[in-house]
Amino acid sequence: MSLRTNLRVGFDFDNTLVSYDRVFGGIARERNLIPESCATDKNAVRDHLRAVGRESEWTRLQGEVYGSRILDAEPYDGMLDALHRLGRSNVPMCIISHKTRTPYLGEAHDLHAAGRRWLDHHGFHDASGLGWSRDRVFFETTREAKVARIIAEQCTHYVDDLSEILDLLPDDVEKIHFSPLVALDRTTPWRVMREWRELPSLIGPRAIS
């Protein structure tokens, strides 16, 4: 088993652990929010609604997907396997995300509670699953609080789909940009993870058994 005791890996939640593409696309199609020619991934739905001046529809849709419909969202392929592998190697891990407590528009879903329901549903806290302690999950309400928490938790590595968060982290945090859909410039200063199965090697083969 791995034994690098100073290793500590942090993860974003939305669009990093959780894939919402099918949920956004499915609801948008059901409600005729997008034309047949529009792709159904999250970013395509967002870009279309913004382009046609329906930003409020996008905001309401986000609140619903991240709230009452969150259990329809799927783990990214290979994510649970990668976390199990790190867990077997005794790598300390935590989730540090930022999201408002309730949506800006629409029903007042508790988005933090919804996120925790998703984690329960996928066995993060189950002894037969990942078996994580609940105090390893942090939902902050601002980006600034999220960055402060990453630093306070002394993460040596942090995985996020948002480049603007990685930009805010100090140099002693190894930044891993999760980018499954968008090809990044090879000059990017961060390590890039296109698939979750790449994570153990990005952290370091000497650290992971």
Q: Model confidence over 153-185: pLDDT tens digits?
A: 999 999 999 999 999 999 999 999 999 876 655
The CATH number for 9-19+74-203, chosen from 3.40.50.1460, 3.30.750.24, 3.40.50.620, 3.40.50.1000, is 3.40.50.1000
Residue ranges covered by each domain of the chain: 9-19+74-203, 21-72
Over 80: is that where the pLDDT of 4 sits? Answer: no
Those residues with Cβ within 8 angstroms of residue 92's Cβ, 6 or more apart along the chain or in another chain: 7, 8, 9
Tell me: the pLDDT tens digits for 92-134? 999 999 998 886 666 778 999 999 999 999 999 999 889 999 9
- Separation of alpha carbons 21 and 131, rounded Å: 27
pTM of the entire structure?
0.89
- Separation of alpha carbons 165 and 43, rounded Å: 18
Tell me: the pLDDT tens digits for 34-47? 898 888 888 888 99
